[in-house]
Structures are given as structure tokens and as C-alpha cells.
A = this chain, B = another copy of it.
Amino acid sequence: MAKKKQQDTLSSEEKIKEAARKVFMEKGYAATRTRDIAEAAGINLALLNYYFRSKEKLFELVMQEKLSSFFGLILPVLQDPASSLDDKIHTIADRYISMLAANPDLPLFVLNAMRNAPKKFAAMLKGADHLLQSAFARQLKERNPHVAPEQLFINIMSLCIFPFAMRPGLEVISPEIGATFNVLMEERKKLVPKWMRAMLKVK
């Protein structure tokens, strides 16, 4: 109801954008009808095109926003030469798990977006690429020269993000996980760094 009140005071443009975030995240681009967005925004269909010209342009706006928040969280951490490796791992785990607990649909949305429009994604990220030249990769390599830093980077991403992507499946396979999911994720903020430290010792 706090949300409802807030929405009533937003401009039409902002109401549409907010509704678009919600519906696109829940259903994806193809399954979303502009009518759904207009209805969720409490405005008319024509107004959507008045402000955003087309479904595709509105989607790109949302996608850009979501990709930014998804990667904006991690890229500065990876590239910071001042912080230690352990600090980086802790910060990434803590921030990602917090963010995804608040935005459970984000992982699948981002994964689909990257797959369906890799070129747009690349254009959006230029300048932030070359993970293997980052401070993080260098520190990983120093700590454990036996395992490629790519592997350990993949691991921290996997351990933080994948649980949210497979949540619906987990809830079916094990009702107990469904019931305690948020608690489990909260625990992982401390467990992931511990596991990463253990993995760093593996040759």
C-alpha cells in the first residue's frame, strides 16, 4: 500500500517505467504485452507509445537499467587495486546476495538478456571488459598459481547468483529449501567467503 500511494504520486512516464520493470522482469520481453504494462501502470496503452515510442525501446531502457545494477555492483570491486582479495570476495558475496534477495527475478532476466542480445550487452559494457587484467584476477593468480583465475571468478559468481536462478526448481525438489530459502541465502553471505578461501588452496 506504501507502493500504491507512491505510484499515485508518480508522473505517468515514471508509472509506465515502473510497471515495465515489473512486467518485463516477470514475463520476459516476448511474453509481455504492452497492454499488460499499461494496465499495471494504470494508464492507457496509447500513452506508453507517446512516452517511449515502442515496446522495444521501453524494454531496452529497462534492460540497460538492470544490467547496470547487476554489473555495476561487481566491476568496481574487481578493479580496485587497494582492497585485498579476501575483502573483494567478502564484498561481492555480501552485496550480490543482498541485492538478489531483494530482486529475485534479476538473475534469470539478466541471463536471458545477455543470451538474446549479446551485442547490446557488449556495447553497454565496453571499457569494463578484460576481466583477466583486473586486480582481482591478478590477486587470484598470486594466491593460487595452479588454478586459472577464470575458474575462481566463475565460482564466486556461481555460488552467489545461481541459487536465486534455480530457486523455483529447488522449491519443488525440496519443500524444506523453499521454506527456509531466505535464511539459507543469508547464511551464504558468510559461507561463500569461507568456501572461496578453501577453494583457493586447491591445486
Interface residues of A (CB under 8 A from B): 27-31, 108, 110-112, 114-115, 118, 121-122, 125, 128-132, 147-148, 150-151, 154-155, 157-159, 161-163, 165-166, 168-177, 180, 184, 187-188, 191, 194-195, 198-199, 201-202
Contacts and interface: CB of A to CB of B under 8 A. Distances in A.
Contacts of A110: 169
A176 B108 contact: no
A118 B172 contact: yes
27 contacts: A27-B30, A28-B30, A29-B31, A30-B30, A110-B169, A111-B169, A112-B112, A114-B168, A118-B168, A129-B172, A129-B173, A129-B174, A131-B174, A147-B191, A148-B184, A151-B188, A151-B191, A155-B159, A158-B159, A158-B166, A159-B159, A161-B162, A161-B166, A195-B198, A195-B202, A198-B198, A198-B202
Contact of A108 (B27, B115, B154, B170): B115
Stoichiometry (number of copies): 2
Contact of A150 (B31, B157, B177): B177
A183 to B, nearest CB: 9
Contacts of A184: 148, 150-151, 154
Contacts of A27: 30
A171 B115 CA distance: 11
B187 A151 contact: yes
A161 to B, nearest CB: 7
Contacts of A130: 174-175
Given A162-B157, A202-B198, A150 B174 contact: yes
Nearest to A172: B122
A202 B159 CA distance: 15
Nearest to A70: B169
A102 to B, nearest CB: 18
A157 B166 contact: yes
Given A151-B191, A162-B158, A199-B198, A132 B176 contact: yes
